[in-house]
Structure 1
Amino acid sequence: MASKYDGLARIIIQNVGGKANIISLTHCVTRLRFKLKDESKANTDILKSTDGIVTVMQTGGQYQIVIGNHVGAVYDTVCQVGHFTSDMKLAEEAVDEKKLSPGAALIDLISGTFLPVLGVLSGVGIIRGLLAVASFFGLLTATDGTYVILNAVGTSFFYFLPIILGMTAAEKMGGNKFIGISIGCSMCYPAIVELSNAEAIGTAFAGTIFATQYYTTFLGIPVLLPSGGYTSTVVPIIVAVFFAVKLEKLLQKVIPNVVKMFFVPLFTLIIIVPLTFLVIGPITGILCALITQLFNTIFGVSGLLAGAILGGMFQVFVIFGLHWGLTPLALTSMAAVGYDNIIPTAMPATFVQTATVLAIYLKSKDEKLKKVALPAFISGLFGITEPAIYGVTLPKKKPFVISCLASAVSGAIMGGLGVKRYSMGGLGIFALATYLNPETQSFYDVSWSVVAILVGMAVSFVITFITYKDEVKAEPTAAEVAAAEAE
């Protein structure tokens, strides 16, 4: 059955250099994300001027076409028209893919690992937030069957996150997703979790600053487990899968075809899983603890300044896709201390961006701009700001700068007051539910989040409304008129 996006899909495929130029295609909340063999073959100007495309970004080794909230439907149509499989990935040997810089490669890996689960991550986060609200107002108690079942939905996703990320990371890196799942399962296995809470049988690195109690051994080597095990963790599984994929590809080359099907997973798992518990897990655990401590120290020294910087720069991060780097930091913080104080400083920025767009919508006389601004405003309230950024504020430059400065004000309020969130998930107005403290049922973080949002929106709206002016189109000169008539 033909889709209403058939024409747009054909234009996109043709102007990214054709199917032969496409290495892979995925999508996030608003963007089609292509990896192209040769980006110079893409007709960027044509794509930017095509109705249905907000803009085009080339960042992080990806050729990103910003569509908007209906990107999923456009993605499906592009796959149908181009006869692509879901999350198409050509064989690595057949692709001369250009090397990315270390920073771009890291962002590409993080975004590719989290993009497939972003929608569900947000959904279950909202469920956890709403349950906290229902408990606060006495609508449900923790012993109610309704609460228990919904809490299972909201909590289990985070509890078994290593399994989920094991699959998506393996797919992103071109490995066997079931090997990734198996590594994640071993990290969440109940007996392993119970070991982390058992009585210590010894101390590793005794007499040093790295002295750590251990609860079991593997071939006589102490196994250092974090408190509570590896459930809900992020970095250890991604690093473990990275090495698993490298080993898997090596084994694919040396193991005979007749036994490859089961010997490759066998040797990969029997090497990587113990390595994860003995080396990868402890090392990444130390690094994550250091990073968490670093951010806590920064916020402890000056939460006001840290919040202002993160809040003011967040929309810039979105443009370059760097905002993905905050996701594992936030999840790591939640797993370590039970809350995140990093992303809260950036949360009001989405609302500030919408206020800027609303001011332009009310002030502008440009009907074409108003048609873009109103949907972008509505989309922004639900946490999707790309249409606002690329379609309205960034092209106008000054409004984008105003929104960043106002976001810095909101971020300073959030950071200065130590606002925290207690669950991942939820975008825009739905994110507020994740700021209710489920243990104390305190509305402190929710209340100050609302204050920070309203202050930032007010600052941005007022300044934009006062300073914004539609661009005056210059009248054609006599020479230009004569030239046009001659044609």
Structure 2
Amino acid sequence: MGKYHELAEKIVTNVGGKDNINSLTHCITRLRFKLKDESIAQDEVLKNMDGVVTVMKSGGQYQVVIGNHVPDVFAEVIDVAGISGDSEESASGGNLFNRLIDILSGCFQPFLGALCAAGMIKGLNALLVFIGTRGVFEYTTTTGTYVMLNAIGDSIFMFMPVILGYTSAKKFRLNPMIGIVIGAALCYPTIQGSALQAAFTATAAEGAAAPYSLLGLPAYETFLGIPWVGATYTSSVVPIIFIVAFAAQIQRLAKSIIPPVIQTFVVPFMVLLISLPVGFLVIGPVISMLTDLLSSGFQSLMDFSPVMYGLLLGFFWQVLVIFGLHWSVVPLNIMQITTLGYSQVLVAMFGASFAQTAVVAAMYFKLKDQKLKSLCPPAIISGIFGVTEPAIYGITLPKKMPFFYSMIGGSVAGAFLMINGNTSYTSGGLGVFGIFNYITPEGDARGMWIAIAAILIAATIGFGLTMAFWKDDTVEEAVEGQTAMTVRKEVITSPIEGTIAPLSSAQDEAFAQGILGKGILIHPSKGEVVAPFDGTVMTLFPTKHAIGLISENGLELLIHVGLDTVQLNGTYFEAHVQQGDKVVRGQKLLSFDKDALVKAGYTIETPVLVTNTADYLDIIESDKKEVVCSDDLITALV
């Protein structure tokens, strides 16, 4: 259940219930319902609801204005209403790689807390064995306490397919209970590769025919005449995700052809009967071979140059986290630990969080902005325990160079860890708890001491570089008649050439009232949108009618071309960037045929809004009548 679940329930109730919903899509700020009967929707209740900005009715749509977090609310609403939402925004930008990252993160994120807890318990057990071997007290791998703690910590790794069966079923919209059954089937003892091989040996001893084989792998008898390839799936990671994805397609097909009155039990019957044999015969063996090849590839790269591997992964790890690309590596680390009992894939990133935390500590002594300075202590505390998002997004990344210094610290620490051959024996402990990941199950703590040394290296470099080279760019300005105060400003140049007007003159009430943010209205004279600052494309819809940007200093800007142009599904629009792209001021973002839009009956007035206005003291609009793309349009004061 997500953070917007309660809000979603209230929205569904007040639009007339799920039976009143024909369809639901969303654009950049709004849930766009098509209702069977708009008259039974409770307009005033929705408008006064916490989390809802206002309600609009336009183009046959009942629009509930939410704001920038509309994708999260949308996901909860379709879950509450039990409908299949057809979002106007594809997850993670729509390309194949981004979709893969989105799938992996969606499957692993729900149980990361439990995974961390299990890893910490295994690390604690290893620490106790280490202390026991020093004669402090009796504690070995055969004691009852060790056996129980090991079972608690190891269970999530042993039955990983069951956990992933549930989370991946939620991701692919398969019945979650079916996902659990599929995961449990993969863990069933007698179908594991070792059990099958034992059966082969017994069969051969009795003089039976030699077992089948496929691509050099052993097989056990046949299923409907097809050789059954033996593979071990307990503790596996990737095969279950692909099998569940296939099962979701079977469920969708089964629901379309099976009468509703018997779907409750016939659909699961068909899904299990088809997806699991295909999983055992084809998907599981193929994916297992591919993941083995990928694992071998990473190992070959590490063997070729451990130093280079450590430098690169340590340097870029925080960048990978920012863009969510670390999810392409995390599953491989978990897979190696669950199958081999150890992994070096993520060892080189261990120092990065400590470098980041040390940089924030140094910035605390040099910051002039008291508001930003007050954010440092809690960011340092969370960073010590491995949670660096507050430090990255709130402090170092907006200031640029401190973030770069943390990357250097993480890089050197990564090389140090790889030179010393450090190996992780469990996955879970974050921050300082992560040092226990490097104690072997037998109690050898050499890796822990190397990890502690890496922490000191990363922190020293990050702290030292920041203290030596970084200067706060905050400008001290004296305000007449008042004590001197700290003021920072960010200038947004015009993204479009044309005439400008107050935002209050917008035809769309939500924009005109300023409830989505402060800004200005542009009547374009040229069908081109350019970047108004250096930053990142935060949101780009497939319809290409709107784009959300975030500047390097954290200012969030929405550029929305035309009124109701979302209904054109991208006709007359062309995008020159993708979601997640870095852009520089003046770079072309979008093109649109303004004459064709007007001829089709659409207004092309374009609101340009600062959507996080609460973060600024004031938003000052230009007083010019006409602007070109190099002119200052909006000034935001911090």
Give, in whole Å, the separation in 2 of the partners of 1:64 and 1:181: 34
What's the CA shift for 1:447? 1.8
What's the CA shift for 1:457? 1.1
Give, in whole Å, the separation in 1 of the partners of 2:334 and 2:221: 27
Q: Which residue of 1 aligns with 2:171?
A: 172
**Is the 8 Å Cα contact of residues 37 and 98 (structure 1) preserved in structure 2?**
yes
Matches within 5 A, 1:424-435: 424-435=427-438
**Is the 8 Å Cα contact of residues 204 and 211 (structure 1) preserved in structure 2?**
no
Q: Which residue of 2 aligns with 1:462?
A: 464
Q: Which residue of 2 aligns with 1:189?
A: 188
What's the CA shift for 1:340? 1.3
Matches within 5 A, 1:232-311: 232-311=235-314
The 1:269–1:469 alpha-carbon spacing in structure 2 relative to 1, beyond 3 Å, is: same
Q: Which residue of 2 aligns with 1:383?
A: 386
The 1:36–1:301 alpha-carbon spacing in structure 2 relative to 1, beyond 3 Å, is: farther
Give, in whole Å, the separation in 2 of the partners of 1:371 and 1:288: 46
**Is the 8 Å Cα contact of residues 195 and 215 (structure 1) preserved in structure 2?**
no
Pairing 1:39–2:23 present: no
Bigger mean CA deviation after superposition, 428-437 or 88-97: 88-97
Q: Which residue of 1 aligns with 2:530?
A: none
What's the CA shift for 1:280? 0.8
Matches within 5 A, 1:38-57: 38-39=27-28
Matches within 5 A, 1:18-417: 37-39=26-28, 88=79, 91=82, 93-99=84-90, 100-138=94-132, 139-193=138-192, 195-200=195-200, 202=210, 204=212, 210-226=215-231, 229-417=232-420
Letter in 2 for 1:39: I
**Is the 8 Å Cα contact of residues 312 and 404 (structure 1) preserved in structure 2?**
yes
What's the CA shift for 1:36? 8.4
Q: Which residue of 2 aligns with 1:26?
A: none
The 1:246–1:370 alpha-carbon spacing in structure 2 relative to 1, beyond 3 Å, is: same
What's the CA shift for 1:151? 1.5
The 1:203–1:410 alpha-carbon spacing in structure 2 relative to 1, beyond 3 Å, is: farther
Q: Which residue of 1 aligns with 2:597?
A: none
**Is the 8 Å Cα contact of residues 114 and 168 (structure 1) preserved in structure 2?**
yes
Letter in 1 for 2:457: V
Give, in whole Å, the separation in 1 of the partners of 2:423 and 2:279: 31
Q: Percent identity?
A: 39
Bigger mean CA deviation after superposition, 334-343 or 322-331: 334-343
The 1:450–1:83 alpha-carbon spacing in structure 2 relative to 1, beyond 3 Å, is: closer
**Is the 8 Å Cα contact of residues 314 and 346 (structure 1) preserved in structure 2?**
yes
Please report the TM-score for the alignment, with normalisation by the length of structure 1: 0.78
For residues 316-342 of structure 1, give each alpha carbon's deviation from its aligned partner in whole angstroms, at most 9, with x where no partner exists.
011111112222111222234321111
Give, in whole Å, the separation in 1 of the partners of 2:11 and 2:476: 41
For residues 132-180 of structure 1, give each alpha carbon's deviation from its aligned partner in whole angstroms, at most 9, with x where no partner exists.
1111221522332222222111111110110010001001111101111
Q: Which residue of 2 aligns with 1:419?
A: 422
Give, in whole Å, the separation in 1 of the partners of 2:169 and 2:176: 5
Letter in 2 for 1:225: G
Aligned residues: 413
Letter in 2 for 1:339: Y
**Is the 8 Å Cα contact of residues 159 and 232 (structure 1) preserved in structure 2?**
yes
Letter in 2 for 1:161: M
Between Structure 1 and Structure 2, the one with more helix by share is 1
The 1:144–1:336 alpha-carbon spacing in structure 2 relative to 1, beyond 3 Å, is: closer
Give, in whole Å, the separation in 1 of the partners of 2:221 and 2:145: 38
For residues 90-110 of structure 1, give each alpha carbon's deviation from its aligned partner in whole angstroms, at most 9, with x where no partner exists.
645343343321112111111
SS in 2 for 1:93: coil
What's the CA shift for 1:231? 0.6
The 1:288–1:89 alpha-carbon spacing in structure 2 relative to 1, beyond 3 Å, is: farther
What's the CA shift for 1:343? 1.1
**Is the 8 Å Cα contact of residues 344 and 423 (structure 2) preserved in structure 1?**
yes
Root mean square deviation of aligned Cα: 3.0
Which of 452, 456, 460 is matched with 2:454 structurally?
A: 452
SS in 1 for 2:141: coil
What's the CA shift for 1:205? 5.2
SS in 1 for 2:198: coil
Give, in whole Å, the separation in 2 of the partners of 1:19 and 1:323: 35
Give, in whole Å, the separation in 2 of the partners of 1:204 and 1:311: 46
The answer to which structure, 1 or 2, has the higher relative contact order (CA under 8 A, 6+ apart) is: 1
Letter in 1 for 2:403: F
SS in 1 for 2:218: strand
Please report the TM-score for the alignment, with normalisation by the length of structure 2: 0.60
SS in 2 for 1:471: coil
**Is the 8 Å Cα contact of residues 365 and 470 (structure 1) preserved in structure 2?**
yes
**Is the 8 Å Cα contact of residues 26 and 89 (structure 2) preserved in structure 1?**
yes
For residues 373-430 of structure 1, give each alpha carbon's deviation from its aligned partner in whole angstroms, at most 9, with x where no partner exists.
1110110000100000011100100000111111111111122322110111111111
Give, in whole Å, the separation in 2 of the partners of 1:409 and 1:91: 50
Q: Which residue of 2 aligns with 1:3?
A: none
Letter in 2 for 1:159: M
Letter in 2 for 1:333: Q
Give, in whole Å, the separation in 1 of the partners of 2:114 and 2:268: 29
The 1:205–1:146 alpha-carbon spacing in structure 2 relative to 1, beyond 3 Å, is: closer
Give, in whole Å, the separation in 1 of the partners of 2:80 and 2:289: 34
Give, in whole Å, the separation in 2 of the partners of 1:19 and 1:392: 35
What's the CA shift for 1:362? 2.3
- Whichever of the two has the greater Rg, that structure is 2
Letter in 1 for 2:124: L
SS in 2 for 1:384: coil
**Is the 8 Å Cα contact of residues 307 and 413 (structure 1) preserved in structure 2?**
yes
Give, in whole Å, the separation in 2 of the partners of 1:408 and 1:394: 17
Give, in whole Å, the separation in 2 of the partners of 1:83 and 1:301: 45
SS in 2 for 1:137: helix
For residues 275-295 of structure 1, give each alpha carbon's deviation from its aligned partner in whole angstroms, at most 9, with x where no partner exists.
111111110111011001000
Structure 1: 5+ residue stretches without partners: 1-5, 21-34, 43-62, 66-77, 479-483
**Is the 8 Å Cα contact of residues 28 and 68 (structure 2) preserved in structure 1?**
no
**Is the 8 Å Cα contact of residues 409 and 462 (structure 2) preserved in structure 1?**
yes
The 1:427–1:471 alpha-carbon spacing in structure 2 relative to 1, beyond 3 Å, is: same
The 1:96–1:284 alpha-carbon spacing in structure 2 relative to 1, beyond 3 Å, is: same
Give, in whole Å, the separation in 2 of the partners of 1:255 and 1:311: 53
